[in-house]
């Protein structure tokens, strides 16, 4: 039985979500894995958000491993649907890996951060007066550390900016790098 990997990510919001999903499933097969793609765009599930939610939770329960596309989505952080799924998979004790098309730290993606001068221990702030995490991590600490504590890792390959300035959301190169990490981890575990 191949290892089953749940493919969390904002890929479901791409214009070609089904095509991108099919490509990622094919890449999983190349690596000897079975990918499980979220059913947001599945004809059987339709546009019923309750069905989509429950179908995705069932798929996650079936999975051996989670892989989360953490490429920033509509702000400095990963897609919240994806982050929900990370929390769910982590609580079920499944190893979770991540990948991102953005190689920047979280703090670099928050606009207009103010770093208090001459106070090395002071926290940076955003223009709304909210503290900005400054741990040298790619996203919110709960996201990064959950992956670490689950036994997973995050693969990062910077995407070229798209026409609207954002990174390409599918992040295929980082996805392949992530599956490569998982393959190495699995073969080390078997030796």
**55 vs 186, which CB is nearer to a second copy?**
55
Number of residues that bind a second copy (CB under 8 A): 58
Rounded alpha-carbon distances, angstroms, from residue 17 to 21, 22, 140: 6, 9, 26
Q: Is 120 in the site for a second copy (CB under 8 A)?
A: no
Task: Retrieve residue 168's tokens.
Answer: 């390409």
DSSP 154-180: EEE-PPPB-TTSSBPTT-HHHHHHHHH
One residue of 5, 28, 83, 156 binding a second copy per CB under 8 A: 83
**29 vs 74, which CB is nearer to a second copy?**
74
One residue of 20, 146, 154, 171 binding a second copy per CB under 8 A: 146
* Residue 134 C-beta: closest distance to a second copy, Å: 9
Binding residues among 31-50 for a second copy as defined by CB under 8 A? 47, 49-50
Sheet holding 96-100, edge to edge: 34-36, 4-8, 65-69, 96-100, 154-156
One residue of 19, 108, 135, 180 binding a second copy per CB under 8 A: 135
Residues lying near a second copy in the complex (CB under 8 A) are found at 10, 12-15, 17, 47, 49-50, 52-54, 56, 73-81, 83-92, 110, 125-133, 135, 137, 139-146, 148-149, 162, 164, 166, 169
């Amino acid at each position: 039985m191949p290892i089953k990997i749940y493919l969390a990510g904002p890929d479901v919001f791409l214009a070609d979500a089904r095509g991108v999903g099919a490509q990622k499933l094919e890449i999983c097969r190349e690596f000897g894995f079975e990918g499980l793609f979220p059913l947001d765009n599945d004809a059987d599930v339709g546009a019923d958000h309750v069905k989509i939610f429950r179908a995705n939770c069932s798929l996650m329960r079936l999975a051996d491993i989670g892989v989360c596309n953490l490429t920033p989505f509509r702000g400095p952080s990963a897609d919240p649907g994806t982050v929900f799924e990370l929390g769910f998979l982590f609580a079920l004790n499944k190893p979770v890996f991540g990948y991102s098309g953005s190689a920047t730290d979280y703090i670099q993606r928050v606009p207009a951060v103010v770093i208090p001068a001459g106070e090395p221990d002071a926290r940076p702030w955003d223009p709304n007066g909210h503290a900005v995490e400054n741990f040298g991590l790619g996203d919110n600490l709960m996201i990064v550390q959950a992956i670490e504590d689950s036994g997973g890792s995050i693969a990062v390959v910077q995407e070229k900016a798209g026409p609207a300035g954002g990174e390409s959301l599918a992040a295929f190169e980082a996805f392949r790098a992530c599956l490569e990490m998982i393959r190495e981890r699995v073969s080390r575990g078997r030796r």
